[in-house]
Amino acid sequence: MLTIKESLENTVTDALVQVCGIKEATGQVIYASRPEFGDYQANGVMAVARQLRQNPRELATLVINALSGNELIARAEVAGPGFINIFLSDDLLAAKASACLSDPNALIVPSQHPQTIVVDYSSPNLAKEMHVGHLRGTIIGDSIVRILEALGHCVIRQNHVGDWGTQFGMLIAHMNSLSSDKRALSSNLADLEGFYRAAKQRFDTEPGFADQARAYVVKLQQGDADCLAAWQRFIEESLQHCEEVYNLLSVGLKRNDLRAESFYNKELPNIVDDLHDKSLLTESDGAQCVFLDEFKGKDGSPLPVIIQKSDGGYLYASTDLAAIRYRSDNLGADRVLYVVDARQSLHFQQVFAVSRAAGFVRQNCKLEHIAYGTMMGEDGKPFKTRSGDIVKLRELLAEAVLRAQDLVTEKNPDLSDSEKALIANTVGIASVKYSDLSKNRTSDYVFDWSSMLSFEGNTAPYLLYAYARIQSVLRRLEEESIYPGDHIQLQQSEERSLAVKILQFAELVQLLGEDCYPNQLCLYLYELSGLFMKFYESCPILKSDADTRRSRLALASLTAVTLKKGLNLLGIEPLQRM
Ligand code: ARG
């Protein structure tokens, strides 16, 4: 199956090749920039005309003649210096929309080249509790995973949690001094963030504690059984905290998806050996480093990627090299996506370059850093509590639900408590997720409760409400035994615009699978709801004849299905009533 855009691209390309005889010519079909220019436009003629030194408008006319009789195209016109404006056939649009009614899966067109795609996302550091800094990676990654799966790719989630390193020595030392009192330990661990702070405080101030902590790191690395048991206990506790957050966010990361940093420990000596064998290692101040020409410091001096410190310890980059090799060779990835903070961009450029140079990754395996910006407070600095503490994700989400609860109570005081709670939960969590996902991921953004909970604009409450409203119309008519038909007719321009937009959903999802910008999906859903509102205002349902009424209800129902699918790809389950 192909999307409309793909079919047009093929059709115009064939016509162009037939007319000009150049096998490499392509149609270059894009969306029309304005409705009066049609639905799509083809730009491929100009390059060919230049190459053949022909008049582009004449060539375009020949192509249009060759297109005649195509069932997709109602009409095509030469425009400007040699563009072709394409107007789709209403009958074909109606038929395609009707086909989606009977099989909503047809709203998404699977990729013609399914791949194995590894997505590294969320990946918090387990020494501390998940905080707002982990929100973006977790939900952007989750949305990308949903999109890629919907396109038929084989997606392998990898939660590359930080569970190793010197911090854990400090935490184990603190645990061990509490463990004489089992209950005290459990209750202390329940507040993981507080636990970390207490340990750090002792590390910084208590005589002897830092040495103790360092001794524990060594013991841990040597595989000391008691130490490993304490470490495991801590990791388990921390993972449960993460899972609580994943559940709140409906993020589908499971234990199976964990590939913690420690998983790669046994591979690290091999990484060093292999880099050495490939003559990529240089000793610098006792550390083993890779210097690559493309990485230079500000002053032009070479920038090292440190692989092993002088004390034998490994670094974040060393583990990532082992992880790349594992993903390429063991998981068989065609593509690896790293959904990680933009501030780690140099790290990934270096790690990708070193793995290419060392042959740790198959040549046809693509590595991509899906970078995201920082969530800021109103003061323009990374989001913190008033007292300057880090905001725990659990607490942020709980607050979102409380605020949504107030909103629901204010709008709908008559709902039962359980209904209010259900709506508040959905609206609260969806608002936090949506407000984040609707921002271009590469930019920083300011976290703002009032705009995310607004019923106006490109927000979760607006979209959830739009969906619930369509459902309520369908329910109301169903009570009068009026049901959607199975054929959509496109009589008015508002119906046509809505149908075109719905059919373009498949094209958008394909694009998202390539460039991984969920904000485009948010914008699409917002525009779709806008087109629905226009349709709903100007195309009466009840007051029209039976056929038209059934067609309009069908179009409304198809809009709802599309909205729901889109929201699901963002990790949001819409409500039937609001
Ligand atoms: N644990 C890291 C952090 O909290 C993120 C890990 C991202 N993934 C990776 N393969 N490096 O910053």
Q: Is 123 helix (H, G, I), strand (E, B) or coil?
A: coil
Residue having the nearest C-alpha atom to atom 5 of ligand 1: 123
Q: Which of 130, 159, 160 to mutate to test the pocket of ligand 1 (most atoms within 8 A of CB)?
A: 160
Please report the pLDDT score of residue 10 as a whole number.
97
- Specify burial of residue 450 (Cβ count, 10 A radius: 0-12, 13-18, 19+): exposed
CATH of the domain at 45: 3.30.1360.70
Contact 453, 520 (CB under 8 A): no
Q: Are 246 and 270 in a shared domain?
A: no
Asked whether residue 439 is assigned to any structural domain, the reply reads no
Domain that holds residue 208: 167-250
Q: Are 229 and 332 in a shared domain?
A: no
CA 452 to centroid of ligand 1, rounded, Å: 28
The predicted-structure confidence for 355-406, as pLDDT tens digits, reads as follows 999 999 999 999 999 999 999 998 888 898 888 888 999 999 999 999 999 9
Domain end (from 318, 350, 372): 372
Tokens read off for 54: 């022909």
Asked whether residue 111 is assigned to any structural domain, the reply reads no
Please report the pLDDT score of residue 182 as a whole number.
66
Q: Are 279 and 214 in a shared domain?
A: no
CA 339 to centroid of ligand 1, rounded, Å: 9
Cα–Cα distance measured from residue 526 to residue 183, given in angstroms and rounded to the nearest whole number? 51
Half-sphere exposure of 543 (CA within 13 A, CB side): 5
The predicted-structure confidence for 163-218, as pLDDT tens digits, reads as follows 998 899 999 999 888 866 667 777 788 888 889 999 999 999 999 999 999 999 99
Please report the pLDDT score of residue 190 as a whole number.
84
Cα–Cα distance measured from residue 336 to residue 327, given in angstroms and rounded to the nearest whole number? 8
The predicted-structure confidence for 333-358, as pLDDT tens digits, reads as follows 999 999 999 999 999 999 999 999 99
Cα–Cα distance measured from residue 475 to residue 459, given in angstroms and rounded to the nearest whole number? 25
Report the domain count for the chain. 4
Per residue, the 3-state secondary structure of 22-83, as one string, reads: CCCCCCCEEECCCHHHCCEEECHHHHHHHHHCCCHHHHHHHHHHHHCCCCCEEEEEEECCCE
Cα–Cα distance measured from residue 97 to residue 74, given in angstroms and rounded to the nearest whole number? 17
The predicted-structure confidence for 398-430, as pLDDT tens digits, reads as follows 999 999 999 999 998 999 999 999 999 999 999
Question: E strands, 383-519, where?
Answer: 445-446
Looking at every residue in the chain, the average pLDDT score rounds to 95
The ligand 1 atom at the shortest distance from the C-alpha of residue 340 is: 7
The ligand 1 atom at the shortest distance from the C-alpha of residue 134 is: 4
The ligand 1 atom at the shortest distance from the C-alpha of residue 351 is: 11
Residues with CB under 6 A from ligand 1: 120, 123-125, 160, 162, 320, 323, 338, 340
Q: How far is CA 9 from the centre of its chain?
A: 27
Tokens read off for 345: 């961009």
Residue ranges of the chain with per-residue pLDDT less than 50: none
Q: Are 203 and 274 in a shared domain?
A: no
Asked whether residue 123 is assigned to any structural domain, the reply reads no
Asked whether residue 144 is assigned to any structural domain, the reply reads no
Contact 120, 336 (CB under 8 A): yes
Contact 369, 338 (CB under 8 A): yes
CA 123 to centroid of ligand 1, rounded, Å: 5
Please report the pLDDT score of residue 181 as a whole number.
67
- Specify burial of residue 544 (Cβ count, 10 A radius: 0-12, 13-18, 19+): middle
Asked whether residue 420 is assigned to any structural domain, the reply reads no
Please report the pLDDT score of residue 185 as a whole number.
79
Q: Are 529 and 484 in a shared domain?
A: yes
Which residues touch 380 (CB under 8 Å, ≥6 apart)?
Answer: 446
Contact 282, 291 (CB under 8 A): yes
Q: Are 176 and 202 in a shared domain?
A: yes
For the chain, the first-to-last Cα distance in angstroms comes to 36
324 φ/ψ angles, rounded to the nearest 5 degrees: -65, -45
Domain end (from 228, 250, 272): 250
CA 527 to centroid of ligand 1, rounded, Å: 35
DSSP single-letter state for residue 266 = G
Asked whether residue 121 is assigned to any structural domain, the reply reads no
CATH of the domain at 500: 1.10.730.10
Please report the pLDDT score of residue 278 as a whole number.
97
Question: Whose structure tokens read 């304005």?
Answer: 34
Q: Which of 344, 348, 350 to mutate to test the pocket of ligand 1 (most atoms within 8 A of CB)?
A: 344
Q: Are 467 and 564 in a shared domain?
A: yes
Domain end (from 372, 404, 422): 372
Q: Are 466 and 516 in a shared domain?
A: yes
CB atoms within 10 A of CB 524: 20
Please report the pLDDT score of residue 297 as a whole number.
83
Q: Are 295 and 198 in a shared domain?
A: no
Measured between alpha carbons, how far is residue 224 from residues 176, 185, 212, 268, 323 in Å? 14, 21, 15, 19, 25
Please report the pLDDT score of residue 454 as a whole number.
95
Asked whether residue 295 is assigned to any structural domain, the reply reads yes
Cα–Cα distance measured from residue 517 to residue 438, given in angstroms and rounded to the nearest whole number? 9
CA 501 to centroid of ligand 1, rounded, Å: 38
Q: Are 223 and 294 in a shared domain?
A: no
CATH of the domain at 283: 3.40.50.620
Contact 344, 181 (CB under 8 A): no
DSSP strand pairing (281-284 vs 29-31): unpaired
Q: Are 243 and 272 in a shared domain?
A: no
Cα–Cα distance measured from residue 263 to residue 169, given in angstroms and rounded to the nearest whole number? 18
Cα–Cα distance measured from residue 453 to residue 403, given in angstroms and rounded to the nearest whole number? 8
Q: Are 240 and 269 in a shared domain?
A: no
CA 345 to centroid of ligand 1, rounded, Å: 11
Asked whether residue 306 is assigned to any structural domain, the reply reads yes
